[in-house]
Amino acid sequence: MFDISKIRTVDDFPKMGIKFYDITTVLNDAESFQELFQMLLEKARVLQPDVIVALEARGFIFAPALALALNIPFVPIRKKRKLPYKTYSEQYDLEYGTETIEIHQDAIHPNQRVLIFDDILATGGTAAAAAKLMRHFSTKNVNFLFLMELDFLKGREQIKGFEAESLIVV
């Protein structure tokens, strides 16, 4: 079990009433970073994905390395107008506003097993939007992997029907 005290909490960021979980404290500690990465890799191996998809921006810290370790492709989901080719888009609500994410239309191939990675599952809006993006592709299955889950926000309810793993549940 990972020691959650290694993750710094910042009150009232990015706005009043939000508690932000800052993983840079883990990234600055090579031993903790390696421990967390190995735990994520073990979870990802069990799910046997053909491709790892990650959400901008903190999902990009771990997901490309996981993809390399598993010898599979990495696909980014980015904020609106950040990808250069034809995209599918999905808008969703955040705790503090709305956002749109996009994926390239040729990013996922038919019958691939997709693992969507993000650093945190909070209200579930981002994860649900990513799941909706997957409807554009003929995937074999879609699973989620999160570094941390804020259970009290009930984000898992937004992705019912999908297998979801979280290393740390708060």
Domains of the chain: 48-169 (3.40.50.2020)
Q: What is the mean pLDDT of the chain?
A: 95
Q: What integer pLDDT is reported at residue 94 of this predicted model?
A: 74
Q: What is the value of pTM for the model shown?
A: 0.94
Tokens of 160: 């019912």
- Check if the beta carbon of residue 168 is closer than 8 Å to that of residue 139: no
The mean pLDDT of 92-97, rounded to a whole number, is 75
pLDDT at 96 over 80: no
pLDDT at 93 over 70: yes
CA angle 100, 101, 102 (to 5 degrees): 130
Name the pLDDT band for 95 (thresholds 50, 70, 90).
low
d(CA 141, CA 115): 9
Which element (helix H / strand E) includes 145? strand 141-149
Kindly give, in sequence order, each residue whose CB lies less than 8 Å from that of residue 8, ignoring residues fewer than 6 positions away: 21, 22, 24, 25
Name the pLDDT band for 15 (thresholds 50, 70, 90).
confident
